[in-house]
Structure 1
Amino acid sequence: MADDLLTPADDETPVETAELLAASGLAHEELVELVEFGVFETSQGETGWRFHSRVVHQARRVVKLRDAFGLNPPGMALALTYLEKIEALEQRLRELECLLPR
């Protein structure tokens, strides 16, 4: 079921906290800290927090960062934020390079 959360058809389907934890491998305490740091946006569901499905991908990334580098939640938040900024800048650079004459 965890892999089903990333399919394009489910891109708008909200993900409950328990589903996110199961799909990502994050500990509940880590998730709480990442939400408090503003890394993951939430909405209120009937049974607690709900997340946009793209958060599953982000959560899996922070788990990889945690495991590879021994990062704590503040470190995971910082690393994920910078990785996403770098990716956005690289995408913008590719767009601008397409506009250059050859």
Structure 2
Amino acid sequence: MTDDVLIPADAESRVDLAELLAASGLAEAEVLELVEFGVLETKGSVSGWSFHARVVHQARRAATLRDTFGLNTPGMALALTYLERIEALEQRLRELECLLPR
């Protein structure tokens, strides 16, 4: 994984497939599968795909799961889906806790 690849920080920025591969350390086949599984969202056709810059974080996380736990692409997709769901539930719990009287 290459940490020195600069990715735009604003929410509307987009990166192309080559930039995503360089920034994440994933192989093109892995990215293609993660897109097929619906884990990574893209626009355009395969030859001209572009990704929101926030997808870089997901792709780096997928590479970390692969390297740390030896996961294959379906395993990465499943783990990413559950991790995102857990984070959403934790955020909702924090919001609800703020509504409780003290």
Map 1:52-63; keep pairs closer than 5 Å. Answer: 52-63=52-63
**Matched residue SS, 2:50:** strand
Cα separation, 1, equivalents of 2:24 and 2:14: 15
**Matched residue SS, 2:44:** strand
| Residue matched to 2:7 | 5
Q: Percent identity?
A: 71
| Residue matched to 2:67 | 67
| Residue matched to 2:15 | 15
| Residue matched to 1:76 | 76
| Residue matched to 1:100 | 100
**Would the aligned equivalents of 1:6 and 1:56 in 2 still touch at CA under 8 Å?**
no
Cα separation, 2, equivalents of 1:59 and 1:17: 11
C-alpha spacing 1:49/1:60, structure 2 compared with 1 (3 Å)? same
What letter is aligned with 1:65? L
Following superposition, the deviation at residue 11 of structure 1 comes to: 2.5
Cα separation, 2, equivalents of 1:6 and 1:88: 24
Cα separation, 2, equivalents of 1:18 and 1:53: 13
**Structure with more helix by fraction:** 1
1:61-95 Cα shifts (integer Å, max 9, x gaps): 01000101000000000000000000000000000
**Would the aligned equivalents of 1:6 and 1:54 in 2 still touch at CA under 8 Å?**
no
What letter is aligned with 2:20? L
Alignment length (residue pairs): 98
Unaligned runs of 5+ in 2: none
Runs of 4+ in 1 over 2 A off after TM superposition: none
